[in-house]
Amino acid sequence: MSETPATAVDGRPDRDETPDEVRTERPGVPQIALVSAPQSYEETTGGTVDAAATTLTSRVLTTARPNHTYAMTCAMCLAAAARLPGTVPHAVARARTGR
């Protein structure tokens, strides 16, 4: 069975979209996260967050570009994955003490 990007993402075989159509008509799909050990970073408001204040670092890509926001659904999935042994987020997360 041959799948277009749209069918592969939402499982709806009634769509027959090209990759360009998917990119322009549904730019938020897919969301891909890059995860790493804690790193310092600059906030969009100009402040700085020190690596020591974080458990791990993640960026979400939508429309093939880094997004300056972080979707709540991505945050919830990342939090769950960070607690599950065997996942990349769990492997790179800094252990928190007192929890």
Residue 33: pLDDT band (50, 70, 90) is confident
Reading the block at residue 37, the tokens are: 């050990």
Domains and CATH numbers, the chain: 1-26 (no CATH), 31-99 (3.10.310.10)
Taking residues 34-56, report their average pLDDT. Answer: 92
CA 20 to chain centre: 21
Residues 6+ apart with CB under 8 A from 92: 35, 36, 37, 56
The whole model's pTM is what? 0.63
Which one of 7-16, 22-31, 50-59 scores highest in mean pLDDT? 50-59
Residue 61: pLDDT band (50, 70, 90) is confident
